Structure 1
């Protein structure tokens, strides 16, 4: 096992533990010597891991610690890079810029040899539909409404070109290859509806929060799975 893989396993073991773990227990779990374990814990602390404890007292990791990018496996890094690049092609300008920023932050923290390997991985996200894609200026406001769990007054044009005004509770957005879809509870229909972002004419975020939590709405929608496009 490589050293980086061993350090990743140690982080996972500390993250999942519900109580402080003794050095011998961790060493046995990872199949390494106690001396190697103490050296690995020192290395992780140097890299920013907030690991509490000492030999004889046990070790635990304070909640909220994020894995540094260099601790990801090659497959995980490729998945992150590919996902960020895909999002850069599909999302609104603000989210695309955030994806590019996150991608560069991960990339800049990698060792030189791993950075070169990722840059030349050959995994590409071609922008084949750039010329055909319709600008969707409402993506940003809709994402913010989902995040804040606020009601939205939506002016929408359906597939028959008929416009309507809805008060909806937005709680999810799907990013498909050719279209972005808002998932919301529609007060007019008293049911879940799906609204294509390219058919939205106007968005007004209201000050009122919707009465259910986003998590609860997602659970209800997932159970119902009603794929009825807004109309």
Structure 2
């Protein structure tokens, strides 16, 4: 996690919690306690009033609030509707991350809009049957696409044959109940498609490929 994102996350946690322990934060963010101390000092230097109690407990001094995010009632409803749709998705990493994002949004809504959002959330169901999540790699693959990182996968095809592939992830699309990865396969030296629910193991490699101008619409016109 980049430092700016970590500082923002820390600030949100400080507002949402009575107190935070440095050691627990260091484990959550996978950094050293010294890094957390530096982050807290940076927030203080930026004008955030942080208090301290024995036992590594840090908290926001009373009266400080993060400036509210302003949403119209219609925008808040659209976000809650989006969550109901995402909850039906077949990739658990997408469901988990979207839920966390919506929780942060709802946390800073004015009380009236927060009440309406929670009421609406309990009264929306795009489907009476929730799909069973069948993959957990969507978010990792999205990150690899944007950072042009190669990934290594174990893949089981329709004939139940396992293969190991090193690929350059290029795009994703959703069809019926499944996410599909479009990638350049290094062993085949050609484009290949992989259903995410058939990827049994995925590892993002510290290997980068040159940025490209790949366009999914052009790919569809040429290969489908």
Question: Deviations 1:42-95 (Å, cap 9, x if unpaired)?
Answer: xxxxxxxxxxxxxxxxxxxxxxxxx9642x333322222222333344265444
Equivalent in the alignment of 1:194:
193
Task: Please give the secondary structure, in 2, of the residue aligned with 1:124.
Answer: coil
User: Where does 1:192-231 land on structure 2 (aligned, <5 Å)?
Assistant: 192-213=191-212, 216-217=213-214, 219=215, 221-225=216-220
Task: Please give the secondary structure, in 2, of the residue aligned with 1:165.
Answer: strand
Q: In the superposition, relative to structure 1, how do residues 105 and 182 fare at CA in structure 2: closer, same or farther (>3 Å)? A: same
Aligned residues: 156
Does the 8 A contact of 2:92 with 2:133 survive in 1?
no
**Displacement of 1:206:** 2.2
Partner Cα separation in structure 2 for residue 118 and residue 137 of structure 1? 27
Question: Deviations 1:158-191 (Å, cap 9, x if unpaired)?
Answer: 2222333322111333355622222222234444
User: Where does 1:171-186 land on structure 2 (aligned, <5 Å)?
Assistant: 171-176=170-175, 178-186=177-185
**Displacement of 1:98:** 2.5
Task: Please give the secondary structure, in 1, of the residue aligned with 2:191.
Answer: strand
Name the TM-score, length of structure 1 as normaliser.
0.54
Q: In the superposition, relative to structure 1, how do residues 99 and 138 fare at CA in structure 2: closer, same or farther (>3 Å)? A: closer
Partner Cα separation in structure 1 for residue 176 and residue 220 of structure 2? 20
Partner Cα separation in structure 1 for residue 118 and residue 97 of structure 2? 19
Where structure 2 has 5 or more consecutive residues not aligned to the other structure, the ranges are: 1-66
Q: In the superposition, relative to structure 1, how do residues 116 and 169 fare at CA in structure 2: closer, same or farther (>3 Å)? A: same
Q: Cα RMSD between the aligned structures?
A: 3.1
Partner Cα separation in structure 2 for residue 207 and residue 113 of structure 1? 47
Q: In the superposition, relative to structure 1, how do residues 179 and 227 fare at CA in structure 2: closer, same or farther (>3 Å)? A: farther
User: Where does 1:143-158 land on structure 2 (aligned, <5 Å)?
Assistant: 143-158=142-157
Task: Please give the secondary structure, in 1, of the residue aligned with 2:159.
Answer: coil
Partner Cα separation in structure 1 for residue 222 and residue 125 of structure 2? 31
Partner Cα separation in structure 2 for residue 188 and residue 89 of structure 1? 35
Q: Which structure has the larger Rg?
A: 1
Q: In the superposition, relative to structure 1, how do residues 141 and 114 fare at CA in structure 2: closer, same or farther (>3 Å)? A: closer
Does the 8 A contact of 1:85 with 1:99 survive in 2?
no
Name the TM-score, length of structure 2 as normaliser.
0.56
